[in-house]
Structure 1
Amino acid sequence: MGTLTITRQATALIVQLYGELTLQTAPDFRKDIESAVNDNQTEYLVLDLSKVSFIDSSGIGMLVALKTQMTNRSISVFLLNPSEQARTTLQLVQLTSFFHILTGEDAMLTILPE
């Protein structure tokens, strides 16, 4: 099971994902994120993966599709502090260079508007 929380900081939408990103959770995650982005105020989408315990191929597909969709809308997408499991999965499918990955406590300060 998975849940998410969405917060806004200026023009950045910060989405904290919890639990599993799988066939069962990915469609709802994507729908919730797309709804939140539809306000036309978002320039940055930050997906915090620090609390993600598992990602399957559907979860990877959702992340790739979401990044592509947002990029087409001129919204920059970042993955923040992927958990060890999430980072391993991204490495296995060779997507670490496809995504902008931010790590560390101050990672978001480099991209967020003041």
Structure 2
Amino acid sequence: MSRIAIANQHGVLWARTDGPLSAPVSLELETAVLEAATVGRYQVIVLDLSQSPTVDSSGVGALVRLQTALATKGRRLILANPTTAVADELRLRDLYAFFQISHDLHPDMDQEELLLASDL
């Protein structure tokens, strides 16, 4: 049973996983998001991390690979609503600024609102 949900919300690809972002879920999420973004030709991809209590090195690696792969194709990845533990792990690894991270995002927001909602 997959713990990954992917949906089209106002032309934006929203992906979410419930539970820790660790192996093998992180690899499954990475593959699913890349495939869905490519097939659907989405320009903005939101990864909702509100239900991911923790992230380990495989999860961090998957996030970095996703960011890199999408950016090289001219697409935007937004990490939405990360839990404190996930945000702290990205800061600890000096990766927080590598991503566009935003809190208080929801699927009803349109693409422009999402792109302007970056945390500083």
Q: Provide the TM-score with structure 2 as the length reference.
A: 0.83
Unaligned runs of 5+ in 2: 116-120
C-alpha deviation, 1:106, in angstroms: 6.1
Unaligned runs of 5+ in 1: none
C-alpha deviation, 1:40, in angstroms: 4.4
User: How much is the aligned-residue C-alpha RMSD, in angstroms?
Assistant: 2.1
Aligned residues: 112
Q: In the alignment, which residue of structure 1 is the partner of 2:7? A: 7
SS at match of 2:20: strand
Q: In the alignment, which residue of structure 1 is the partner of 2:23? A: 23
CA contact (8 A) 2:80 2:105 kept: no
Q: In the alignment, which residue of structure 2 is the partner of 1:83? A: 83
Q: Deviations over 1:72-96 (max 9, x none)?
A: 1111110001011111111111111
Q: Provide the TM-score with structure 1 as the length reference.
A: 0.87
Q: In the alignment, which residue of structure 1 is the partner of 2:95? A: 95
C-alpha deviation, 1:21, in angstroms: 1.1
C-alpha deviation, 1:38, in angstroms: 1.9
SS at match of 1:6: strand
Alignment partners' CA distance in 2, 1:94 and 1:80: 18
Q: Equivalent pairs: percent with the same residue?
A: 28
Task: Return structure 1 stretches of 4+ with deviation > 4 angstroms.
Answer: 105-109
Alignment partners' CA distance in 2, 1:48 and 1:106: 9
Distance 1:106 1:19, change over 3 A: closer
CA contact (8 A) 2:16 2:49 kept: yes
Alignment partners' CA distance in 1, 2:96 and 2:105: 19
Q: Deviations over 1:19-78 (max 9, x none)?
A: 011122211111111221122430101000011011111100000000000001111110
